[in-house]
């Protein structure tokens, strides 16, 4: 099996990364089925990297239907410790115009129809991970720095509201979300961030603003055409940020990190070890085996 240290999930418009050498495909069967597509595993700037187009090549899978449990587990199988998620978002603030980038620090979950945990399906193991800081506190400043260095206009911090979709918001919803003070809106950070934390992977999000959703009276309401057009404009920038982020994240490999993402399960499992079904430990495999 190939190995990787850094993972990248490409969102809408980002279906490959440039400069990946010695590429192998990895399309495993996980306990949660197949990932969205084969992961491309190779070297970028000398670092072993795995790339997954979130919606599959050709953009085939709706946010609600994404096999996120399989996606995150596939990265875990490769040994990925640091995961960068790139996502198109709508801007909920005047001061974040389309084509600006955001490194959010918070999430508000408005999804309703997707699995959000590995500790589900009545599998007999209950785990409650800490999630007050949903993004890795070690990777966020690094992502901010490399984005600035690549010439992007980047906003450090902000709340990402995650809606179920696949429809865009109504204007009423959009105006209410603005009153809540959120910064950007998207459909995929949940459950990715939750499952990455349960998998003890450091996870950070690069949000690329493509539109003003539908709240902005002097701009047209969001359409797919608008999203795609602006994505094409900033996909080059996202690729440059990835090229700089990968070696910077890899350099943390042997550092002691205060964020604690890699120990999230150490105090999270409530279930008495004596009553946990052996088959559940086997299914959760790489996620929990070091605790049993």
Report DSSP state, residue 188.
S
CB nearer to Zn ion: give 96 or 264.
264
Q: Does 138 bind Zn ion (CB under 5 A)?
A: yes
- What residues between 244 and 263 interact with Zn ion by CB under 5 A? 259, 261
Q: Does 184 bind Zn ion (CB under 5 A)?
A: no
User: Measured between alpha carbons, how far is 103 from 106 in angstroms, rounded to an integer?
Assistant: 9
Q: Does 193 bind Zn ion (CB under 5 A)?
A: no
Number of residues that bind Zn ion (CB under 5 A): 5
Least Å from the CB of residue 66 to Zn ion: 23
Least Å from the CB of residue 211 to Zn ion: 30
- What residues between 260 and 289 interact with Zn ion by CB under 5 A? 261
Q: Does 228 bind Zn ion (CB under 5 A)?
A: no
137 to each of 173, 179, 180, 219, 276, how far by Cα in Å? 30, 27, 24, 34, 32
CA dihedral 69, 75, 80, 83 (to 10 degrees): -60
Q: Does 140 bind Zn ion (CB under 5 A)?
A: no
CB nearer to Zn ion: give 146 or 261.
261
CB nearer to Zn ion: give 100 or 200.
200
CB nearer to Zn ion: give 37 or 192.
192
Q: For this structure, is 100 an active site residue?
A: no
Stretch of 66-74, 143-151, 199-207, 218-226 lying at the interface with Zn ion (CB under 5 A): 199-207
Helix (H) or strand (E) holding 237: helix 224-250
261-270 in b/e form (b: 16+ CB < 10 A) is bbebbeebbe
Q: For this structure, is 213 an active site residue?
A: yes
Stretch of 15-23, 137-145, 193-201, 275-283 lying at the interface with Zn ion (CB under 5 A): 137-145
Question: HEC profile for 65-127?
Answer: HCCHHHHHHHHHHHCCCEEEEEEEEEECCCCCCCCCEEECCEEEEECCCCCCCCCCCCCCCCE
Least Å from the CB of residue 80 to Zn ion: 13
Which member of 54, 178, 202, 216 binds Zn ion (CB under 5 A)? 202
Stretch of 6-14, 86-94, 202-210, 225-233 lying at the interface with Zn ion (CB under 5 A): 202-210
- Cis check: omega of the bond before 275, within 30 degrees of 0: no
User: Measured between alpha carbons, how far is 21 from 208 in angstroms, rounded to an integer?
Assistant: 26
CB nearer to Zn ion: give 205 or 235.
205
CB nearer to Zn ion: give 155 or 197.
197
Q: Which of 201, 68, 87 is nearest to 134 (CA)?
A: 201
Report DSSP state, residue 192.
H
Q: Which of 131, 108, 102, 130 is nearest to 190 (CA)?
A: 108
Active site residues: 211, 213
Binding site for Zn ion (CB under 5 A): 136, 138, 202, 259, 261
């Amino acid at each position: 099996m190939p190995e990787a240290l850094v993972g990248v999930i490409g969102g809408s418009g980002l279906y490959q990364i440039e400069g990946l050498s010695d590429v192998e495909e990895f399309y495993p069967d996980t306990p949660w089925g197949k990932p969205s597509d084969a992961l491309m595993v190779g070297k970028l700037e000398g670092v072993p990297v795995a790339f997954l187009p979130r919606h599959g090549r050709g953009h085939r899978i709706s946010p609600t239907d994404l096999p996120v449990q399989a996606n995150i587990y596939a990265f875990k199988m490769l040994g990925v410790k640091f995961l960068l998620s790139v996502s198109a978002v709508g801007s909920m603030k005047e001061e974040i115009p389309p084509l600006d980038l955001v490194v959010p620090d918070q999430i508000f979950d408005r999804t309703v129809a997707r699995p959000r945990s590995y500790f589900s399906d009545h599998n007999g193991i209950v785990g409650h991970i800490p999630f007050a800081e949903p993004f890795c506190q070690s990777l966020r400043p690094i992502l901010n720095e490399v984005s600035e260095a690549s010439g992007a206009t980047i906003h450090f911090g902000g709340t990402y509201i995650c809606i179920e979709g696949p429809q865009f918001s109504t204007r009423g919803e959009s105006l209410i979300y603005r009153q809540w003070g959120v910064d950007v809106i998207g459909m995929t950070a949940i459950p990715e961030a939750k499952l990455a934390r349960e998998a003890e992977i450091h996870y950070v999000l690069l949000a690329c603003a493509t539109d003003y959703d539908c709240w902005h009276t002097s701009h047209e309401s969001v359409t797919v055409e608008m999203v795609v057009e602006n994505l094409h404009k900033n996909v080059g920038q996202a690729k440059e940020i990835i090229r700089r982020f990968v070696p910077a994240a890899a350099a943390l490999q042997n550092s002691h990190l205060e964020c604690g993402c890699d120990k999230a399960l150490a105090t999270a499992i409530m279930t008495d070890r004596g009553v946990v079904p052996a088959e559940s430990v086997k299914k959760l495999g790489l996620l929990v085996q070091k605790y049993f």
